[in-house]
Amino acid sequence: YVAAAKRAVMGTVGIDAEAGTTEIAVVADSTANPVHVAVDLMSQAEHDPAAASVLITDSEELADAVDAEIETRVAATK
């Protein structure tokens, strides 16, 4: 809806940009807070089914903790 609204008023009022699908990549090591990483990833994924939210890490523990946090938060929204 936001993109359609921006398209409708473009040229009449100033807009920042007509945004498309969002993407995020978080690069984190074992010191990262898994809750913060999960929320950052989810904040972009919620915008569009085609959005890409990617965690790049060398820590299996962080990846597992982020995955668990995302699962918990998604389950809470159902």
State how far Cα 33 lies from the chain centre.
Answer: 16
State the Cα–Cα distance between residues 2 and 56, nearest whole angstrom.
Answer: 30
pLDDT, tens digit (0-9, with 9 covering 90-100), for 31-78: 999 999 999 999 888 777 778 899 999 999 999 999 999 999 999 987
Q: Which pLDDT does position 4 carry in this prediction?
A: 82
Q: What is the 3-state secondary structure (H, E, C) of 38-53?
A: HHHHHHHHCCCCCCEE
State the Cα–Cα distance between residues 77 and 75, nearest whole angstrom.
Answer: 5
The domain segmentation of the chain, as residue ranges, is 21-76
Q: Which pLDDT does position 20 carry in this prediction?
A: 66
pTM exceeding 0.95:
no
